[in-house]
Amino acid sequence: MSMSGDPMALIRLQVMWDRLIAVVEEQAQTLVRTGFSTSTREAGDVSAGVFDATGAMLAQAVTGTPGHVNSMARAVRHFLTDFPADTMRPGDVFITNDPWKGTGHLHDFTVVTPVFRGESLVALFACTCHVIDVGGRGMGPEARSNYEEGIYIPIRRFATAGVVDTTLVDLIRCNVREPVQVVGDIYSLAGCNEVGSRRLLRMMEEFGIADLDALGTHILDRSREATLEAIRALPKGTWRNEMQVDGYDEPLTLVATMTVAEDEIRVDFTGTSPPSGYGINVPFCYTEAYSSFGVKCIVAPKVPNNEASLAPIRISAPEDCILNAKWPLPVATRHITGQLLPDLVIGCLGQALGGHVPAEGTSCLWNLMALGGPGAVDASPVELMKARVFNVMSFHSGGTGARPGKDGLSATAFPSGVRNVPIEVTEALSPLLVRRKEYRTDSGGAGEFRGGLGQVMEVISLDDAPYTVSANYDRVLFPPRGRDGGRDGKTGTLTLKSGKVLAGKGRQPVGRGETLVINMPGGGGLGDPRKRDPALVARDVRLGMVSPEAARDEYGVVLAADGSADLAATRAARAGA
């Protein structure tokens, strides 16, 4: 169907664009609903998207994480380099978990499926999910090279003309601790691409189009124009932000220099700490993914995410930098470092815009990763004789930074966007029992707009045996910083109720009968706490989010006997501060 000379052409293209986003959202929801692991099924740690035949991303699903989708946006071109479009045939499916050509570590599998209309290749569907295990040392930073981190699958065919490569599947199955969940997730990846393909072909038939050329041009042109318009509205110049973070064996310094030009935003990480000897290194694809996401959140949040809207955001990092880790450096927990990058680049934008950006948040996830049974914990065979073998990863989050005009979000994952996993799921899959899970009072930084609260979790094992917790946390030594006079959020802690303090990173034993206590960080506050509405402070105290002591000391709010704010006493207290 020709669009030329049709006054309804632009409207029809826009309707098809919206429909295409619906197609990839159904693709993502299929992955979530058929996924085997909790990270896929419960947390939504996935991505899904559709690409043109050259590998340019046209649309992504709303469901998913920036680290997955923005790095997957580059990954498809790696697939096309190894398997050119003219060699692909109907029924072919391709796969990899290459950290440098995929999404940053071995636990993420990316699957790409070509779509044919008749004899013509019209599109490529791609998707990613985090699997529960890839063998090796498991999900933790202890490995000293990528060789130790698990099975590495280069870009290969998963299926040829609809026939699955069972040799590849067997190799994966025999090298992971949870073969049912891992192989099941891989089939779910292939299956969701198939659903996306069918829905796309039905859409093309409905609208009477033989290819996506006109639609793709419309999507990319409009997205490019809208992004450039947003960039041109920004002040021009160069700004620098620096952040201290925990690191593994020593703290790291992350440095970003942002230059806003007429038609692009450049972010350079020169000055950032060199690579680590442990698995907190970040491949450049993941650095690019989260840095560009942080920029886009502030500059052009309403422009759909695709090849053209990402292109004007240019990221660079020197080769001697932890944010441009080269193979075979260990990268298993690259998310600990990489998820801090939106806060870093937003700090540059805050200088450019004179504020008007959120405070820093917890940013990195505070997942409960635990293993039990023989081989999972250093204990005597007698102690482990009746221990249940388990391997769980339960997603949980601290607080986000306060936002302009709004408080931060409590127990919410930003920038990853994954959902907290219900404790009932963890308890069903393991002998662990979560005895307490609630907001952590006073963890959100004080401000005119309060930082979001972290959580407190207390965990015991119902087995009469020790188990191992794998800590992959940051913001233990250095808190999320407040902004524009707001106070810092609280740092996180990992302890045993008996009093022992555990490290923020690495595998550590939890003894028989011990209670593990996880205190997650809170987000930074925004603005002077003494300007916060006293009624809001009183409400926070009533809800247990702020203590009466913090209300008095941080906010200068005096509470009456009935729990409301005593306005006269508060005015006097604030005036005398």
- Establish how many alpha carbons lie within 13 A of residue 256's alpha carbon, considering only the half-sphere containing its beta carbon: 32
Instruction: For residue 463, give Cα distances in angstroms to 471, 513, 523, 548.
Output: 21, 8, 35, 39
Q: Are 440 and 454 spatial neighbours (Cβ–Cβ below 8 Å)?
A: yes
Alpha helices by DSSP H, listed for 339-471, are 341-353, 381-384, 423-429
- CB count within 10 Å of CB 264 equals 14
DSSP string, 134-171: -STT-SSS--SSGGGG-----SEEEEETTEE-HHHHHH
> Is 16 a residue whose pLDDT tops 50?
yes
Q: Are 556 and 530 spatial neighbours (Cβ–Cβ below 8 Å)?
A: yes
Q: Are 399 and 489 spatial neighbours (Cβ–Cβ below 8 Å)?
A: yes
**pLDDT for position 5:** 58
Strands 120-130 and 46-51 turn out to be: antiparallel
pLDDT bin (cut points 50, 70, 90) of residue 371 is: very high
**pLDDT for position 8:** 79
Return all residues near 323 (Cβ < 8 A) that are at least 6 apart.
254, 269, 272, 282, 284, 287, 317, 337, 338, 341
- CB count within 10 Å of CB 8 equals 9
Return all residues near 31 (Cβ < 8 A) that are at least 6 apart.
40, 46, 48, 127, 129, 188, 189, 191, 192
CB-neighbour burial class of residue 514 (10 A; exposed 0-12, middle 13-18, buried 19+): middle
Greatest alpha-carbon pair distance for the chain in Å reads 81
- CB count within 10 Å of CB 416 equals 26
**pLDDT for position 373:** 86
**Separation CA 83–CA 212 (nearest Å):** 21
**Separation CA 58–CA 549 (nearest Å):** 52
Q: What type of residue is 556?
A: G
Closest CA to 94 of 104, 105, 85: 85
Residue pLDDT, tens place only, 41-93: 999 999 999 999 999 999 999 988 999 989 999 999 999 999 999 999 999 99
What is the rounded average pLDDT for all residues in the chain? 95
The percent of residues above 90 in pLDDT, for the chain, comes to 93
Q: Are 331 and 243 spatial neighbours (Cβ–Cβ below 8 Å)?
A: no
Q: Are 72 and 305 spatial neighbours (Cβ–Cβ below 8 Å)?
A: no
112: region left, alpha or beta (phi > 0 left; psi from -120 to 50 alpha) = beta
The residues pairing with 260 across neighbouring beta strands, listed in sequence order, are 237, 265
The residues pairing with 496 across neighbouring beta strands, listed in sequence order, are 516
Q: Are 434 and 423 spatial neighbours (Cβ–Cβ below 8 Å)?
A: yes
Closest CA to 197 of 64, 1, 50, 16: 50
Q: Are 104 and 330 spatial neighbours (Cβ–Cβ below 8 Å)?
A: no
- CB count within 10 Å of CB 353 equals 16
- What is the three-class DSSP state of 491? coil
Residue pLDDT, tens place only, 226-249: 999 999 999 999 999 999 999 999
> Is 3 a residue whose pLDDT tops 60?
no
**Separation CA 37–CA 45 (nearest Å):** 10
CA 25, distance to chain mean position in Å, is 18
pLDDT bin (cut points 50, 70, 90) of residue 387 is: confident
Instruction: For residue 403, give Cα distances in angstroms to 238, 355, 530, 539, 548.
Output: 24, 11, 17, 19, 24
pLDDT bin (cut points 50, 70, 90) of residue 386 is: confident
* Terminal C-alpha separation, the chain: 72
**Separation CA 323–CA 271 (nearest Å):** 11
Q: Are 372 and 467 spatial neighbours (Cβ–Cβ below 8 Å)?
A: yes
> Is 1 a residue whose pLDDT tops 50?
no
Return all residues near 166 (Cβ < 8 A) that are at least 6 apart.
none
Residue pLDDT, tens place only, 273-321: 999 999 999 999 999 999 999 999 999 999 999 999 999 999 999 999 9
**Separation CA 475–CA 473 (nearest Å):** 7
**pLDDT for position 2:** 47
Average pLDDT of the residues in 158-185: 97
pLDDT bin (cut points 50, 70, 90) of residue 374 is: confident
**Separation CA 252–CA 100 (nearest Å):** 22
pLDDT bin (cut points 50, 70, 90) of residue 4 is: low
**Separation CA 479–CA 445 (nearest Å):** 10
